[in-house]
Amino acid sequence: MESYTRSRLSWESHASQVNRIKDHVNQSSKILADLHTARDGAEGWQQDAIDKITPLLQELASNTTSIIDHLNDKKQTWHPEYQDYLRFNAELATDLSRLIGDYNDFGNAKAKTQAMELKLGFSGF
């Protein structure tokens, strides 16, 4: 979406893409709600992941709402405020994706380590 700041697409094209983003953010929020429901039974590192993902996703949702409000009110895609919203959302999405990826990598590495410990007969370090 950030690349749209350099395009001459109509505000309707922007609105269509923003609606897709809104749908993705809403789905992510539902997943996060499920994670919060399961949080108490999660391992410490998983709880930490949920705690760090939550504010980023909330900020992404809030900023997406600001983008939608701007389009609905002004229908001006060239406006610096709108372009700042798009850039900020792109940065937030990138940060959120990296964070989730890092925790996913950690979880995979932890699972491999635990499997190897079982295979070798270690009871843990």
Environment class of residue 86 by beta-carbon count within 10 Å: exposed (0-12), middle (13-18) or buried (19+)? buried
pLDDT tens readout for residues 30-73:
999 999 999 999 999 999 999 999 999 999 999 999 999 988 88
Q: pLDDT per residue over 3-31, tens digit each?
A: 766 777 788 888 888 899 999 999 999 99
Give 79's DSSP letter: -
- Report pTM: 0.83
38-61: b or e for each residue (b if 16 or more CB lie within 10 Å)? eeeeeeeebbebeeebeebbeebb
Question: In the prediction, which pLDDT does 124 show?
Answer: 56
Per-residue pLDDT tens over the stretch 69-109: 988 888 788 888 888 999 999 999 999 999 999 999 999 99
For the chain, domain boundaries: 2-119
- More confident of the two residues 124 and 103: 103
